[in-house]
């Protein structure tokens, strides 16, 4: 016992500082990766890799449906529909909509279960890029840290461009272009208002709603989003030195 205590005393500084150093290195990795993505497009995300692994358990040759397209080649209808459905204050907040989080918390408390998330588009992107769908306070804190890194390094247009290209729209379907082709046989640039609204309302649970395209809930919710799309505020490119958008390389397909 004495030797164990002596060992603890000898390495007490490492016991304290090693976890802090590891935490710092992890955050530095996230920060550097996000900085890289200011100019270059992500080839995959944590969510995409996890979903591909699941699909390949039953089909070793399975591939994801995914194709990157520039922000300008994505329908304004889809952009407005997603903002109206997922994050009405996206252009105004700094990554976290605390009022929305409080409303979601109160709603969940009243229902006695999780029925609302309150996560912004930036928070969803942080989770999709690096984390998993598990629920824990540790994961939520990490999500918030990554969210503020994204907002610090990127402008809103770049954040939204990445989100639109990597968000899940169904089982093995990621990004606006793949979703438009898969569900409607058109490009992301050609999506009409009704099609865009229907895709947007799938986002809270895309794998579930991807198999229930004709559900009454999707139809009703789509009509609500259609009415809100006209007032959805799209982000604008910033010219501040901190968030200057750099011309990106041609994405691989």
pLDDT tens digits, one per residue of 68-98: 999 999 999 999 999 999 999 999 888 888 8
Q: What is the pLDDT of residue 65?
A: 96
**Whether the Cβ atoms of residue 176 and residue 164 lie closer than 8 Å to each other:** yes
What's residue 251's pLDDT?
46
Q: Residue 135: its pLDDT value, please? A: 75
**Residue 106 structure tokens:** 């109160």
Quote the crossing angle between the two packed helices 156-166 and 176-184, to the nearest 10°. Answer: 40
Q: For position 208, what pLDDT does the model report?
A: 87
CA distances from residue 41 to 4, 33, 35, 247, 248 in whole angstroms, order as listed: 50, 11, 11, 11, 8
Q: Which residues of the chain are modeled with pLDDT < 70?
A: 1-2, 4-12, 111-117, 239-253
218-248: b or e for each residue (b if 16 or more CB lie within 10 Å)?
A: beebbeebbebbeebeebeeeeeeebebeeb
Q: What value does the CA radius of gyration of the chain take, rounded to a whole number of Å?
A: 20
CB 169 within 8 Å of CB 182? yes
Predicted structure pTM score: 0.85
What is the C-alpha to C-alpha distance for residues 77 and 157, in angstroms, rounded to an integer? 15
pLDDT of residue 114: 58
Provide the pLDDT for residue 249: 44
Cβ burial of 30 (10 Å; 0-12, 13-18, 19+) is middle
């Amino acid at each position: 016992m004495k030797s164990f205590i002596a060992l603890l005393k000898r390495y007490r500084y490492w016991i304290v500082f090693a976890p802090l150093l590891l935490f710092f290195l992890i955050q530095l990795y996230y920060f550097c990766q996000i900085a890289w993505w200011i100019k270059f497009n992500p080839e995959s995300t944590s969510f995409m890799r996890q979903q591909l692994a699941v699909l390949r358990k039953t089909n070793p040759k399975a591939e994801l449906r995914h194709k990157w397209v520039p922000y300008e080649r994505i329908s304004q209808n889809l952009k407005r529909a997603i903002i109206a459905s997922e994050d009405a204050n996206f252009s105004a907040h700094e990554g976290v909509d605390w009022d929305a989080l409080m409303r979601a918390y109160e709603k969940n408390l009243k229902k006695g279960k999780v029925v609302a998330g309150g996560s912004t588009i930036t928070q969803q992107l942080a989770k999709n890029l690096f984390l998993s769908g598990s629920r824990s306070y540790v994961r939520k804190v990490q999500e918030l840290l990554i969210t503020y890194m994204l907002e610090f390094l990127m402008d809103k247009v770049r954040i939204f461009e990445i989100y639109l290209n990597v968000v899940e729209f169904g089982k093995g379907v990621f990004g606006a272009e793949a979703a438009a082709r898969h569900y409607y046989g058109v490009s992301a640039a050609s999506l009409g208002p009704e099609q865009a609204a229907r895709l947007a309302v799938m986002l809270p649970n895309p794998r579930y709603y991807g198999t229930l395209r004709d559900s009454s809930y999707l139809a009703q919710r789509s009509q609500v989003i259609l009415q809100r799309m006209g007032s959805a505020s799209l982000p604008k490119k910033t010219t501040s030195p901190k968030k200057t958008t750099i011309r990106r390389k041609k994405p691989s397909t």
